[in-house]
Amino acid sequence: MSVIEADKTVCEGIGMCETQADTYFQIGDDGLVEVLVDEVPESDRGYVRAAVDSCPVSALRLQG
């Protein structure tokens, strides 16, 4: 099990994360990232990793 961490002070609302893994990320009404589910089972790790990596301002981390 891995855990998603998002830093809203860094997020630019670009939405790459939502485009790639919309069960985990959404742009909220404030225009910034909201993590919908923060625990990621092994089976989803690959594509959540790709979404985390795709953030151009490194606002996301996948721990563990």
Interface of this chain with ligand SF4, residues 5 to 34, rule: CB under 6 A: 6, 11-17, 25, 27, 33
Q: Is residue 10 a contact partner of residue 35, using CB atoms and an 8 Å limit?
A: no
> Which residues of this protein are in contact with other proteins, per CB under 8 A?
12-16, 27-32, 49-50, 53-54, 56-58
**Could you tell me the smallest distance in angstroms from the CB atom of residue 47 to ligand SF4?**
14
Beta bridge partners of 62: 4
Q: Is residue 45 a contact partner of residue 2, using CB atoms and an 8 Å limit?
A: yes
Compute the distance between CA of residue 13 and CA of residue 42 in angstroms, rounded to an integer.
Answer: 27
Residue 50: name its binding partner from other proteins, ligand SF4, none (Cβ under 5 to 8 Å by kind).
other proteins
